[in-house]
Chain A
Amino acid sequence: MSENNLLKVENLRTEFKISRKKSVAAVSDITFEINKGEIVGLVGESGCGKSVTSLSIIRLLNDTSGEITHGSVWFKGSNLLKLSDEEMRQIRGKEIAMIFQEPMTSLNPVLRIDNQLIEAIQLHTEYTKQEAREHALETLRSVGIPDPERVSRCYPHQLSGGMSQRVMIAMAMSCYPDLLIADEPTTALDVTIQAQILDLMQGIRNTRGTSILLITHDLGIVAETCSRVYVMYAGRIIEEAPVDILFSDPSHPYTQGLIASIPKLGLEAESLPFIPGSVPDITMMPGGCRFHPRCRYAMEICSQKEPELISINESQKCRCWLKTSEYSIKTENGESRK
């Protein structure tokens, strides 16, 4: 593990029990890393396992039937999956914090904002209530909330979505964590507020050096904020690339389809290109490569054996038979295309 590395997830596999004996893997073979001060994107369609991945990292799967069955999560040199519940509780909020998709429902409706912030601060510091209150106001101010004294006395239902998300970010940032996991932080917000929240997160990265794992399905947000991107499909990471390369030269057919389906300004087209079919049901995953039923380059091998995530150059990785040495030539000749 290099000096600069903050989080390294290796071969993570999380399974959900669907009946007494049977369980299905929501995600498996998830390997990725986040460096210090880096904003990394995790993109994919709904249901591809993005949120399960993030919840697995901070071990918040208790309430579900989910269970991490394989792999390791290295954070600052220790394996989070091996820590006791109490040690893990110390890390949550202090070292790794999380913000959620729905800011309006992420705050407890029966507690005032200041009490929720003070709670978060006092959990991990030795501050007295008064000190914690001052720190809370300071944090609220730092996330761009005007008049923090007044906002801090409000109940969550009195705040707008954008304000609530700022409060959530303030709460997450109150103990200066090293890693912020943002699970679709802007999905529930309208576009102008989205931009403000993304600005705010980038600002936090710049001033505090916080690493951010940004989970989203919005490629526009990825292009704006992230430096590196992992693309997920049906519980697998299928591509890793720096953000500029992802958009200019996507390697996996799925990513290519995604990028092609983004509407482009000034380009007149009858209809946008799209990927045919839909995401496979988690209980009925196709054999071989999980994307092959929808892939226009699918070959025989694709339905038989799942490809590994392989490096195709120094910064890009791809999970596709087309990128392996045995099969790449064939496709260039067009022989095995269906």
Chain B
Amino acid sequence: MQTSTFIDQPIKKAENRTKYYFRKFFQRKTAVIAAVIILIFLFFAIFGPQIAPFDPSLPDYDNLYGAPDAVHWFGTDEFGRDVLSRLLVGTRNSLGVSLASVLIGAAIGTFLGVLAGYYGGIIDSVVMRGSDILFAMPDILLAIAIVAIIGPGIINVVIAVAVFTIPSFARIMRSATLSVKSSLYVEAARSIGCKNSRILWVHIFPSTIQSMIVNFTMRIGTAILAAASLSFLGYGAKVDEPDWGAMLSSGRNYLDIAPHLVYFPGLLIFIAVLAFNLLGDGLRDTLDPKLK
């Protein structure tokens, strides 16, 4: 069919996408540092019990409220338990709760948001008004209300935090879907006879993942805070289970005689939230095609 000389440009040699993103990401020092910190936390979450120098629940009544020293780096608490060991072991609880809740919230929120953005109309109205209602309440109050209804416990904390994570994902994914939906290749997909479901999950969804990843990291920070706050208020883990928020809560009673009981859990929560937020910023800058 094509007989004459073919003078199309040759195919551009494109850099491997993954490599490109890695290169861009490594240019952002703060994000890299944040990622390293998160990796360290993840390491603690997995191997915390193994590397903890002491049994986290072993009391030592000779050494109550011990200040930080060479043996107990972070000091001991009101039962003489090693604070460092409790923090290390508690990492799994605190990170696990926030990760699980954000995962659940993200899955539900994304699903609803994508549907709302794509189909519009009544689905859109219901989903968006629903998230408006959830948004209208302060995060932590909402979580407390949910836990108050379904009762305390780790699983219920996960559910509570997940619920208030849903609307942010629903909103972000809806707007991402809306912007991709009107693109020409979606129309082209429809012009070859694609079904709605296929257009939605094969053609639109992959292009919106970037916004989801960024929001995901950001929300983990919020979720850590929320989970810690709930444990602080006594709705989360059992008293004897190590948990950052719960440790902060019990330490507060001895603030005047053993301030290290509050400093270290608080510092850890602060660092974890900051690291996740900085990583989210870095990922956004890396993945946003508009910021070259």
Chain A residues in the interface with B (C-beta under 8 A)? 58, 60, 63, 89-94, 97-98, 100-102, 105-111, 119-120, 123-124, 142-144, 146, 150-151, 154-155, 157-160, 162-163, 166, 168, 171-172, 192-193, 196, 199-200, 203-204, 207
* Chain B interface, >50% SS class: loop
Q: Which of B11, B188, B194, B198 contacts A168 (CB 8 A)?
A: B188
> Does B183 have its Cβ within 8 Å of any Cβ on chain A?
yes
Q: List 9 contacting pairs A-B, 8 Å CB cutoff, sorted by A.
A: A98-B188, A100-B184, A105-B184, A110-B206, A124-B193, A150-B11, A159-B11, A160-B8, A196-B8
Please tell me if the beta carbons of A108 and B6 are within 8 angstroms of each other in the complex: no
Q: How far is the CA of A120 from the CA of B189 in the complex (A)?
A: 8
What's the minimum C-beta distance from A313 to chain B, rounded to whole angstroms?
36
Please tell me if the beta carbons of B191 and A110 are within 8 angstroms of each other in the complex: no
What's the minimum C-beta distance from B95 to chain A, rounded to whole angstroms?
31
Nearest chain A residue, comparing its CB with the CB of B2: A144
What's the minimum C-beta distance from B184 to chain A, rounded to whole angstroms?
4
Contacts of A94 in B (CB 8 A): 193
> Does B181 have its Cβ within 8 Å of any Cβ on chain A?
yes
Please tell me if the beta carbons of A90 and B193 are within 8 angstroms of each other in the complex: yes
Report if A98-B191 is in contact (Cβ < 8 Å); known contacts: A143-B1, A155-B14, A193-B8. Answer: yes
Report if A91-B193 is in contact (Cβ < 8 Å); known contacts: A143-B1, A204-B1. Answer: yes
What's the minimum C-beta distance from A290 to chain B, rounded to whole angstroms?
28
Please tell me if the beta carbons of B195 and A89 are within 8 angstroms of each other in the complex: yes
Nearest chain A residue, comparing its CB with the CB of B183: A105
Contacts of B4 in A (CB 8 A): 196, 199
Q: Which of B2, B13, B188 contacts A203 (CB 8 A)?
A: B2
Nearest chain A residue, comparing its CB with the CB of B188: A106
Please tell me if the beta carbons of A100 and B187 are within 8 angstroms of each other in the complex: yes
Nearest chain A residue, comparing its CB with the CB of B1: A203
Please tell me if the beta carbons of A163 and B8 are within 8 angstroms of each other in the complex: yes
Contacts of B187 in A (CB 8 A): 60, 63, 100, 106
Please tell me if the beta carbons of A92 and B192 are within 8 angstroms of each other in the complex: yes
Nearest chain A residue, comparing its CB with the CB of B189: A108
Please tell me if the beta carbons of A97 and B191 are within 8 angstroms of each other in the complex: yes
Report if A192-B1 is in contact (Cβ < 8 Å); known contacts: A94-B193, A108-B189. Answer: no
Q: How far is the CA of A151 from the CA of B183 in the complex (A)?
A: 23
Report if A143-B2 is in contact (Cβ < 8 Å); known contacts: A159-B11, A193-B8. Answer: yes
9 tightest CB-CB pairs across the interface, nearest first?
A: A144-B2, A93-B192, A93-B193, A92-B193, A98-B191, A203-B1, A160-B9, A106-B188, A105-B184
Q: How far is the CA of A62 from the CA of B13 in the complex (A)?
A: 38
Interface size on B, residues (CB 8 A): 31
Of A90, A91, A144, A168, chain B has the most CB atoms within 10 Å of the CB of A144
- Interface digits, B1-27 against A, CB 8 Å rule (1 contact, 0 not)? 110101111011110010000000000
Contacts of B182 in A (CB 8 A): 63
> Does B190 have its Cβ within 8 Å of any Cβ on chain A?
yes
Q: Which of A60, A92, A158 contacts B11 (CB 8 A)?
A: A158
Q: How far is the CA of A162 from the CA of B10 in the complex (A)?
A: 10
Please tell me if the beta carbons of B184 and A102 are within 8 angstroms of each other in the complex: yes
Contacts of A159 in B (CB 8 A): 11-12
What's the minimum C-beta distance from B230 to chain A, rounded to whole angstroms?
38
Q: How far is the CA of A305 from the CA of B6 in the complex (A)?
A: 53
Contacts of A163 in B (CB 8 A): 8-9, 11
Q: How far is the CA of A262 from the CA of B11 in the complex (A)?
A: 36
Please tell me if the beta carbons of B8 and A123 are within 8 angstroms of each other in the complex: no
Please tell me if the beta carbons of A207 and B1 are within 8 angstroms of each other in the complex: yes
> Does B185 have its Cβ within 8 Å of any Cβ on chain A?
yes
Please tell me if the beta carbons of B11 and A199 are within 8 angstroms of each other in the complex: no
> Does B250 have its Cβ within 8 Å of any Cβ on chain A?
no
Nearest chain A residue, comparing its CB with the CB of B14: A158
Please tell me if the beta carbons of A108 and B185 are within 8 angstroms of each other in the complex: yes
Q: How far is the CA of A34 from the CA of B94 in the complex (A)?
A: 68
Report if A92-B190 is in contact (Cβ < 8 Å); known contacts: A151-B11, A196-B4. Answer: yes
Please tell me if the beta carbons of A196 and B191 are within 8 angstroms of each other in the complex: no
Other contacts beyond A63-B187, A159-B12, A199-B2: 18, CB < 8 A: A89-B195, A91-B193, A92-B192, A93-B191, A97-B191, A98-B188, A106-B188, A108-B185, A108-B189, A108-B207, A155-B14, A158-B14, A159-B11, A160-B9, A163-B9, A196-B2, A203-B2, A207-B1
What's the minimum C-beta distance from B40 to chain A, rounded to whole angstroms?
33
Contacts of B181 in A (CB 8 A): 63
Contacts of A172 in B (CB 8 A): 191-192
Q: How far is the CA of A107 from the CA of B186 in the complex (A)?
A: 8
Nearest chain B residue, comparing its CB with the CB of A142: B1
What's the minimum C-beta distance from B27 to chain A, rounded to whole angstroms?
21
What's the minimum C-beta distance from A160 to chain B, rounded to whole angstroms?
4
Please tell me if the beta carbons of A89 and B193 are within 8 angstroms of each other in the complex: yes
